[in-house]
Amino acid sequence: MKAVRTLVTTASQRRLAPSVLHRARISTISSVPTPQPQPPRKSGRALNSSLAVESTNRHNIEHTIFGSNPSTSPTPFPILEEHLTPLRRYQQLIDNGTLKGDEHQTRIIQKLQDLHDELISYNPPLIPDPAQSNSLLSRLFSLDTPAPTGPPESVPKGLYLYGDVGTGKTMLMDLFYHTLPPNVTRKRRVHFHAFMIDVHKRVHAAKIAMGHNGGDPIQPVARDLANNASVLCFDEFQVTDIADAMILRRLLECLLNYGVVCVMTSNRHPDDLYKNGIQRSSFVPAIELLKTRFDVTDLDSGTDYRRIPRALSNVYYHPLSPENKREVDKIFDSFTSQDPTDPAIHNRALNTWGRKIYVPESTSKVAKFNFMDLCGQPLSAADYLEVTKTFGTVFLLDVPKMGLDRKDLARRFITFIDACYESKTKLFVTSEVPITQVFSGDSDASSRPISDHMRSVMDDLGLSDHTIGNNAMFTGEEEVFAFARACSRLVQMGSREWAETAGQ
């Protein structure tokens, strides 16, 4: 399997070559600034990494990068220090057995290190904020400050890291974000899907503020975003929607002109973004911007690392039998009876996008849904993110096998799985068939066989016919990728490592 991140299962591990170590030490020593006192961090779980700016504590950092709980584990995962650099952290992970080092990995980490070093001496331009107000509408309405027409001369190039599912994109993003130099005080690490939800809200607010006179709503939105973060890290950058494509062309240009340094991960080379999309020609300037203002780097190491089997935790139950229902009910009762001051209640209301979602049974931290409660009604990614942001543990019951006649349910289920993964939610499921086989469609002779593209993606992920079923309903390129990613994430979320660290 193509992978940048490879877990080590034995005490032996490959060491970096002396020349690489020497280079790492030189770069590290030269880039370590004098430690500055840091303000105390607030405690608590970062419920959604799209909201994790400065509130992410060390405990959550260890979860994000390593999937380990430092408060209960011995010290193979030492607590991160503020002055650690990407190369030093990478070497630390090799030393404690979390990663295996190789030349390709080191080249990628060196790119992160180089950008880190540039950021030490980078002073982002002052962005005038004429409206000293906490009101988003007030800030967006302040249009009397002229926007810059080009990026500052001193701004470093951004990074665009792309590769298939499983190449360690998120791990690299987190490693870079959590080793940013202390002088970078305005930073944000955001899942791209959640970021675009936020941007659409801001653009809508800007249009309201401008009223009938009109104007460019993107520039004030970009100014507000640049005020919040001079370094912006996007995870899983993708463009599949015409509305996103039209906004991104202008938004990226404005952010770069305001001196924002962006680091992105994606499963696509810029040339392949929004391929065959409606009015793609209007998005081509954004692609050219990515290719000229970013260091575009392929994460494919050329080595076929297969997924190392992980010990599975008992969180998925099939078939839909009375015995499995009783077992999951017992687990739910165990979770919800731990705090007498927070008993389970029925029909708790969550407010999202101006409407209410009713949770059949929940405490403030644990929720239980029937599959049709979540996927049988027209809920969006924003709704699922709200659910997983609110509840660290979710029980999902009675997941059916889904054929072509239930493709809409399958799409929503995949979106829900993505939200669970992004929020690091602990998930318990009862399903008609093994959980990764719920997308396998109908089993009769008229069923569609697995396509060549699907087979290729499965091979990259180390997924077998037995894992996902003998056939699948998904055929389009984006559908296949989303399906394969969901299967990969379900496997990871069923591991003992995930079960022991998620939902904190």
The Cα angle at residue 182 between residues 290 and 26, in degrees rounded to 5? 80
Tokens of 132: 């000293």
Tell me the per-residue pLDDT of 329-348, one tens digit each, with 9 for 90 and over.
999 999 999 888 999 999 99
Tokens of 411: 């799409």
**The predicted structure's pLDDT at residue 487:** 82
Domain residue ranges in the chain: 18-34+42-298, 316-501
The one-character DSSP state at 431 is E
Q: Which residues of the chain are modeled with pLDDT < 50?
A: 1-81, 130, 132-133, 140-141, 143, 303-309, 443-447, 460-462, 470-471
CATH number belonging to domain 18-34+42-298: 3.40.50.300
- C-alpha dist (Å) from residue 228 to 234, 237, 247, 290: 15, 20, 19, 22
Among candidate residues 363, 331, 334, the one with its CA nearest the CA of residue 427: 331
Among candidate residues 106, 102, 110, 109, the one with its CA nearest the CA of residue 14: 102
Residue 111 burial class via C-beta count within 10 angstroms: exposed 0-12, middle 13-18, buried 19 and up: middle
Looking at the whole model, is its pTM more than 0.75? no
Tell me the per-residue pLDDT of 133-191, one tens digit each, with 9 for 90 and over.
455 555 544 545 677 888 888 899 999 998 876 677 888 888 999 999 999 999 999 88
Q: Please provide the distance, in angstroms rounded to a whole number, between the alpha carbons at the two ends of the chain.
A: 30
Residues 6+ apart with CB under 8 A from 382: 197, 352, 353
What are the two backbone dihedrals, phi and then psi, of residue 495, each rounded to the nearest 5 degrees?
A: -80, 155
The one-character DSSP state at 283 is T
**The predicted structure's pLDDT at residue 363:** 96
What amino acid occupies position 67?
G
